[in-house]
Amino acid sequence: MNGIAASLAAAAALATAPAPAPADPTGDWTGTLHTRTIDIAAGLEIRRTPAGYQAIYDVISQGIWGVHLRRTQPDTPLAFAATNLSGTLTFSWDPAAKDWICTWLEKGVVYRTTLNRGVIPPAPALSPSDRIFLPIFALFMVLEAAGIARLLQLRRRRRMRQRAA
């Protein structure tokens, strides 16, 4: 009889227990996206702001921090994306699993992984010399690219003049 009474007491306690709080999508989330060529250690930072949710993507394995993501649809507050030259990266909240789903679409191939709560390592600190050197180097690279584009344009014009003559 004691076993039945204990089972009934446990069932009554479960029935009167408050429902679990809904999963909170905010915080830091980490995971590894396995692609055909590399494994990408990824981090996702979700913060709630007065305007809604804000998402920041960190590519930990490649040393890239702070990529701001855009919301994919105005009526879906928990879906974000980033697009670059090689593909599209999307993040969507799965309330049933209480995890973020990361999807990378590249040249028609889809890679998917689940991000779990984790700790994203901080971005490495820049040395004082890097704080000076990196902006100058970036400006040099922009000017170099503009110079190369100008040279190519001049070569193209010269060839067109030679063909016309």
For residue 18, pLDDT beyond 60 = no
Is the pTM for the entire model greater than 0.95?
Answer: no
Which tokens is 48 given? 């709630």
Residue 44's CB is within 10 A of a number of other CB atoms, namely: 22
Q: What is the pLDDT of residue 77?
A: 75
Which tokens is 155 given? 């070569």
Q: Using 50, 70 and 90 to split pLDDT, how confident is the model at 38?
A: confident
> Can you tell me the mean pLDDT for 127-147?
79
Using DSSP's 3-state secondary structure scheme, residue 127 falls into coil
Do the beta carbons of residue 78 and residue 93 sit within 8 Å? yes
